[in-house]
Each structure stands twice: as C-alpha cells, then as structure tokens.
Amino acid sequence: VVGLTLDEGGIPDTAEARFTIAERIVAEAARYGIGPDRILIDCLVMTASTNQRQAEQILRAMSLCKERLGVKCALGVSNISFGLPARPLLGSVFLAAAFGAGLDAPIMNPGSKRFMDTVYSYRVLSVEDEGSTGYIERYAGWTDPYKIAANPAAAQTVSTDTVPAAGTAGTDGNDDPIRRMVVSGRKGEIAAETERLLADHDAMDLINNHFIPALDEVGVLFDQGKFFLPQLMASAEAARVGFDTIKRLMPAGEIADKGKICVATVKGDIHDIGKNIVKMLLDNYGYTVFDLGRDVDPQEVLKTVRERDIKLVGLSALMTTTVVAMEETIKLLHAEVPGVKIIVGGAVLTPEYAKQIGADYYAKDAAESARIAEEVFGQ
C-alpha cells in the first residue's frame, strides 16, 4: 500500500500533521490485515522555491513515520527544486538529507548523474554496498570535475554577466524608482515611494507607465531564464504592496478595473501553488480575480462565471488523473457560456494537449497568463 500524507484539507504544512495522516493510514490498513512492513508512506515534497521551510518539515515527517510507525518511506525528490536553477544540484543535496532521515524509495531520474552519484555514495555509507564494490567499479577512473586549475585564470567559470545577482536586479541605471523596486522585489520601500509619487502623478498613469512595465520586464527576465520563481514572487509581492497603497489612497472608482477573471484548480486536484502565483500576478495587472480554490467542481466554476459575468477562466491541473475533470469543465463552460475564454496550465499539460481538450489558451507560466489576459481584454 502506498499512502500519501494529504487529506480533505490538502497537504499539511507541519511534520506533525503529516505524521497524523500517516498514522491514520496505518491504522486503517491494519483493519484489512496489512501491516506496516507492507506500507510505503510518501510525505509529499513541496518546492523550496515557494516555501523553503517545508524541506525541514518534510524530512522531519518522514523521520517520525520511520521511528513511530515502522513503515517504509518514499519521496518525489526532484519536486524540491521546481522553479529554481541548477535543479540537479539542489535535488541531490536534498536526496542526501532524505537518505539520512530514513528515505527508502526515492522517486527520481535514474538518468541524472548527480542523483546517481549521491545514491552510490550513500550506499557505501549505509553499508548497502559492502566492501564499496559498486562504488569502486563506478568511480575507479574518476576525474574530479570540481578541481580548480593551478592557474586560476585558466579555471572554467560560469559567466554571470547576464544573470542579475540577488538584490541587484533593477539597478542598471534606469532612474524609475518603482521599476527598480518591483524588479528587485524590494517591498519594504515601495509603499512610501508610491505615496510620494501619487502627490504629482495620476493613479492610472502610475499603474500603466510604472508598475505594469516593471512587471512586464520581470516576465521577460523569467522567460529568458534570468529570473526564477522566488524572484518572480518577490517582484509580484512588491507590486502588490504598491497597488494596495494606490487603492488605499485613491477614491473608489478612480482606478479602472481591467476585467474579471476566475481561477481554479480542477476537481480532484489539491495542488494550488501555481494557481496562487497566477492570481497574485493578475491582481497586480489590475484585473479583478475570483479565486475558487482547489478541488473545484465544474458546476461551481460555471456558477461563478454566470453570477460574476466572467470573461476569462484559468484552470490548473498538476495530476494526469485530473485532466479529465479539466476537460469536463471546459466542455461545460463552452456549452453553457459560449463567449467565455479558458486558459489552462499545469505541469502535466502541453500546448497540444490543451488544444485537444478544448482550451482556448495554454499558459506555460504565470507571466504568460498575464499576456493572454491582455490579449483577451484588448489591453
């Protein structure tokens, strides 16, 4: 039996809550004569790019399951690095930490040299590779790829000329303070600067000529692989603080509403990180976004579209098994509200498959969803 540490409330944030779910799984399995030795618990890896503290909780949850329940444990190791550069580097370090916490069955790419280097090394330290036979066979002719040349000038280096360092993005000479703060994700300073600029700038001018171009620039950097998910989120958060300041200081109705959008993770799917990022970004672009949450029934989406006069719907699915629900939702919306446009996204989707299930648009990431929204609403 494979048990996942999630329930109707989704994936818990803490190790203790994950362990409690695992405990219930083991107890239920016992009713059917299935002992702990036949159970594999997956404590579910969440990406460090959106919540770094989750890594520690995942490892602790696994240790609790091993120590108190006597089960085997599995983890989808590569999930930890989603949205970050050099994914095998981070993933292999997490794999080593997971082995130390008691991991039995890593779900990983066996074709990754860095991952397999970690596996072979750990097998020596855990005495699974007695006499280090397998390790020696694999690495007898090993040449250190990290060895620094005697002449430092001759050492191979990776250019960072085109990659903004942390905290330096947006400092390339452009004197627009809003642009600098959004691109570099400096939310602590942006409220005061926004308030200062509102003294002699129209609110919509500030939004359209300062905030939106800055967000567009962040989207381009993200597309080019020069920005990564944590930077995208930091920029969106900085922009949100600025927009909140404008809304707080400006009279109601002075800020134009660019259009209504609803977003949802489809029925049966509890993954919502991507959807949440899309909502945050679309909010910043000036759209009114209704977030229906996760595991949303197609009829609930239809009800919201009708009641709120929605013109654009964003649907997310990260599991192959829930793409069926996505297709069902799309068919229902197109049949009942022919004018509505639908964007789909998620790790299991491709542009081809999105077209196959009837979607109007496929967004590979949050930045793309903002560009699609501008196309749909003619802005």
Residue pLDDT, tens place only, 238-264: 999 998 998 888 776 666 678 999 999
Q: In terms of domains, do 238 and 334 share one? A: no
CATH number at residue 6: 3.20.20.20
- Is the pLDDT at 187 greater than 50? The verdict is yes
pTM of the full structure: 0.71
Q: Residues 6 or more apart from 189 whose CB is under 8 A from it?
A: 181
Q: In terms of domains, do 330 and 360 share one? A: yes
pLDDT score for 153: 54
Q: How far apart are CA 239 and CA 212, in angstroms?
A: 9
CATH number at residue 365: 3.40.50.280
Amino acid found at 98: A
Asked, for residue 106, whether it belongs to a domain, the answer is: yes
Rounded (5°) CA angle 195-234-370: 90
Asked, for residue 302, whether it belongs to a domain, the answer is: yes
Which alpha helices (H) appear in 207-272, and where do they start and end?
A: 212-223, 229-249
Question: Sheet containing 72-76: which strands, arranged edge to edge?
Answer: 2-4, 40-42, 72-76, 105-107
Q: In terms of domains, do 187 and 89 share one? A: no
Bridge pairing between strands 40-42 and 72-76: parallel
pLDDT score for 165: 47
pLDDT score for 150: 61
Nearest of 214, 207, 216, 215 to residue 243 by alpha carbon: 207
Cβ pair 341, 361 in contact under 8 A: yes
Q: In terms of domains, do 135 and 233 share one? A: no
Q: What is the mean pLDDT of residues 328-332?
A: 97
Higher local confidence (pLDDT), 182 or 160:
182
Asked, for residue 155, whether it belongs to a domain, the answer is: no
Q: How far apart are CA 326 and CA 296, in angstroms?
A: 10
pLDDT score for 252: 63
pLDDT score for 319: 85
Asked, for residue 85, whether it belongs to a domain, the answer is: yes
Residue pLDDT, tens place only, 257-290: 789 999 999 999 888 888 988 998 898 888 999 9
Q: What is the mean pLDDT of residues 112-119?
A: 95
Structural domain total, the chain = 3
pLDDT score for 312: 98
Q: In terms of domains, do 209 and 305 share one? A: no
pLDDT score for 23: 98
Q: In terms of domains, do 294 and 184 share one? A: no
Q: In terms of domains, do 40 and 122 share one? A: yes
- Is the pLDDT at 163 greater than 90? The verdict is no
pLDDT score for 158: 45
Asked, for residue 353, whether it belongs to a domain, the answer is: yes
Q: In terms of domains, do 240 and 282 share one? A: no
CATH number at residue 221: 1.10.1240.10
DSSP state of 302: H
Q: In terms of domains, do 229 and 277 share one? A: no
| Lowest-confidence pick of 36-40, 104-108, 142-146, 196-200 | 142-146
- Is the pLDDT at 306 greater than 90? The verdict is yes
Instruction: Kindly report the backbone phi and psi dihedral angles of residue 289, in degrees, each rounded to the nearest multiple of 5, phi listed first.
Output: -115, 125
Q: How far apart are CA 178 and CA 168, in angstroms?
A: 14
| Lowest-confidence pick of 69-78, 302-311, 315-324 | 315-324
Higher local confidence (pLDDT), 174 or 199:
199
* pLDDT-based confidence at residue 95 (cuts at 50, 70, 90): very high
* pLDDT-based confidence at residue 166 (cuts at 50, 70, 90): very low
pLDDT score for 9: 83
* pLDDT-based confidence at residue 229 (cuts at 50, 70, 90): confident
Question: With pLDDT > 90 as the criterion, what percentage of the chain qualifies?
Answer: 69
pLDDT score for 167: 47
* Residue numbers of the domain that contains 316: 260-376
Q: In terms of domains, do 270 and 353 share one? A: yes
